[in-house]
Structure 1
Amino acid sequence: MIDGDRGGEVVRTGLLTCVRGLVQVVVAQAVCIPLFVLTVLSIAFIPLGVGVVLAPVVLLAVRGVANTQRVWAAEWSGVPIPVPYRPEPDTRSPFRRLWWLLRDPATWRDVLWTVVNIPLGLLLGLLPAAMLVYGLEGVLVAPWLGRITFYGWGPFWPVDRFGPLSVAAAVALGAALTAFSFKAGPLVLKGHALFGQSLLAPARTTLALRVRELAETRSETVDASAAELRRIERDLHDGAQARLVALSMNIGLAEELMKRDPRAAQELLAEARSASGRALSELRDLVRGIHPPVLAERGLDGAVQALALTLPLPVDVRIDLPGRAEAPVESAAYFAVAEMLANIAKHSAATRAWIQIEHARDRLLMIVGDDGTGGADPAAGGGMRGIERRLAAFDGTMAVTSPPGGPTIVTMELPCALSSPRTSPSSGTG
C-alpha cells in the first residue's frame, strides 16, 4: 500500500510537471515575445516623448512576469529567487519613474531573462510532456501496430523489419521512458528555475552592496543604542536618583526630629512626599521615552493620536492601518513621528501640521508635514539624523522636502507586515 501510494504520488507529480512545463511554454512564447518587442519599441521611443510614459508601463509588466517566475520557481521547484529591485520612489513624475527603472540593474537582467527564456522556456517546457507522450506512444500504440507502420517507422525503429520482437522492445522502451519522464520531468523544471535564478536573483555586486549597507546600519544602530543607554543613565542619575537620595535624607532627618521637634519633622515629611511625587513623575516620563504605555495598549494609531493632542497647534491626523506591526517596528514608527512633531513645535513656527499614515505593498508609509518656515536638513545632525538611523535599522527610508519658506514634508517608509486586523481605521483632527 505504501509503495502504491508512493507510485501514485510520483505519477501525479509527473503529470503536474507536464502541465507546468506547458504553462512555461505559453509564457515564453505568448508573453515574453510581445513583451520584448514592446520593450525595444518603448525604449526607442523615449527621445520622441512617447516612451517616457510607455517604457515604465512595459518595464513594470516585464517585472511582473519576472516576479511571477520567482514565485513559480519557489513553489514548483523549491528554488528561491530574492527580489532585487531598488525601492520605488514616492513620486508621480514620469521622468523620475523612468529614471528609477532604467538605472536599476535588475531591470536589464529582467529584460535579458525575457529574451533568453523565449527559446529556453520552449525547450525545457516541452521536454517533460514530450518524454511522457513519446513513452506512452511506445506502450499504447506499438501493440496495435503489428506489421502496420506509419511512413515505415514505429515508435523507436522500423516495426515492419523486426515484427513481434520490435513490438515488444518498443513497449519495454516506452514503459521505461514513461517511468523516466515522471522522474526526470521535475528535474527539467528545476533546471528552468535555476536558469531563472541565474538572471533574476540579485547580482554579486548588489549583494556586496547590501552586506555593506547592513554592516553600516548595524554599526549605527549599536551607536544609537549606546547613546540611548547613556541618556537613560544620565536622566536617572540627574533626575529620579537625585530626588530619591534627597527623599531618603529628608526621611532620615524627620526620624531624628520626630521627638525633639515634631513640627519640623512634619515639614520634612511633607517635602519628602512632594519629592516622591516628582521622582515618580520623572520615572514615568523616562518609561514613556523607552516604550510608551499608550503604544502598547492602543497601537500606533492611538499613540499618534495622543501625540497630536499634545502639540500647541492644530494637527490633521489621517491613519489607515488595517492591523498592527511588530512591536520593534511600531516603536520605531512612533518615535519617528514623535521626533518630527517635536521639531515642528520647537523650530518650525508653523500654524498647522498634518500626519498621514497608511500601509500599502507591505510598507508602512508615514508623512508628517507643516506650513512653517522650512529649512529642515537631516544632514545637520540632531534628532532627524537619529531617526534616519533608527529607520535604517529596519531597512526604512526617510526623505525630507523643506525649502526655505516651507512647507516641510517628511516622508518615512518602513517595510513590514501587519497582523491582528481591525474592523475600521480612524481619522481625525488633533
Structure 2
Amino acid sequence: MATADGHGTATRLHRVPAALRAPLEGRTWREFLYLLLNLPIAIVMFVYAVTMTSLGVGLLVTFLGLPVLAGTLAGARGLGSLERVRARALLGLDVAAPEPLRVRKGGLLGWVGALFKSGVSWRHLLYCVLHFPWAVFAFCVSVVLWVNGWGLLLYPTYQWALERYTDQPGFQLWGDGNGNSFYVDTPFEIAVTSAVGLLIVLGTAWVIRGLAQVDRLLVSGLLGPSRLATRVSELESDRGVVVDTAAADLRRIERNLHDGAQARLVALAMDLGLAKEKLQEDPEAAARMVDEAHGEVKLALQELRDLARGIHPAILTDRGLGPALSALAARCTVPVKATVDLPTRPAPAIEGIAYFTVSELLQNISKHARASRASVDVWRAEGRIMLQVSDDGVGGADTGTGSGLAGLADRLDSVDGILVVESPAGRGTTVTAEVPWRG
C-alpha cells in the first residue's frame, strides 16, 4: 500500500512493524557490510599511523623527521577521504570534505608547516588510531551475533544434513565425554532453537544499527570539517552576500537618482534658464514656465522622498517597526492587515532588515499574487523576531535560483536568518522569516 506526500513522492506504508522487518532491510545489511570491512581497513590504517608516526618521531634527530611526519599526516588525510566515500556508500552519511590546506609559503617548508598547523590533519591521524579498537569490538560483536542468530533461525532447514552426513543427530549442547550428551533433534527442540535464533536476529539488527551509529559519529566528528571552520566558511559566504547586496543597493540608488530626480532637476534648470531669458520679453510666458517648473520641483521632491524611504524610512527611525509596517501596508495595492507584537524595539539594523523583508514580500503580492487580501504578523519568539506574510492569491511562488525570494533568502541567511515559503498552487502563499533578536 502506498500514498503520496506533499511533493508527490510515493511513500510506502509498511504493514510489518519496523522491529520485525529490520533484519531484511537493505540498510541493515549495508551497515553489517560496513562493520565487516571495518576490521581489515582499520588494521591497515592503524599499522600505517603507528609505524609512520614512530618512524617520523625516531627521525626527528635528523632533518628527515619533520617531512616524514608531514607525509604521515598527508597520508592520513587521504585515508580519511576514502573513509568518507565508504561511509557515504554504506552508511548514507554525507560528510563534507574538510577545508583544504592553506599553504601561505611555497615549497616544501610551506607545505610541511601547513600540515602541522592543520587541526584537520591531526584529527585524521587520531581517527586512524582510535578506530582500530572500536573496529575490532564492532566486528566481533556483529559477526558473532549475526552469524549465530541466522544459524539458529535457519536450523530447521539444515538439521537433516547433520543427521545424514555426520554421526550426530543435530547440535550438541553439552557432553561429558562418557557418552552422556544432549542433542537438539526433536521437533520441539528444533522449533525452540529457531525461535531463539529469531529473537537474536531481531535484536542484532538493532545492535548493528547502534554500532554503525557510533561509526557515523566517528566519521563526522573526526573526518569532517570542524564547527569553527564551517562557521568561518559560512561567515565568509555571508560577507560576500552582504557586499554584493550593498553594491546592488548602491547601483539601484544611483540609477534611480540618474533616471529620476537628477534628470528632472536638469530639465528644471533648463526651464528656469529659459524663463529667465523670457522674463523681459514675455513676462506671461515666463510666469507659465515658472509655474511648470514649480510642479517639476514638487515631483522631484516626491521622488527624493520615495528614494529616501527606500533607503531607510524616517517613520521607522522615529516610531519603530509597528507604525512603519502599518504605513507600508497602507501603500500596498492589496488590503493588508498588519499586526506587530513586540515587547521592545530591536536593534536598528534588525528593524531595517525586517522592514525591507516585509516591503519586498508585499511588492511581490502586489505584482504577482493576484490576491484580494493579505496579512502581516510580527512577533518575538525565543530570541528571534518572526515575520509572517500571507495572501490568498494564486500561490505557486518560485523559490528557485534567480527569483526574488531566493535573493531575499540569501540576504536573511547573511544575518543567520531563515526564510520558509509555503505556496501551493491556487491556495495562496505564506512566507515566514526569522532573524535574530538583537536589542
**TM-score when scaled to structure 1?**
0.49
**TM-score when scaled to structure 2?**
0.48
Larger Rg: 2
Question: RCO greater where, 1 or 2, for CA within 8 Å and sep 6 or more?
Answer: 1
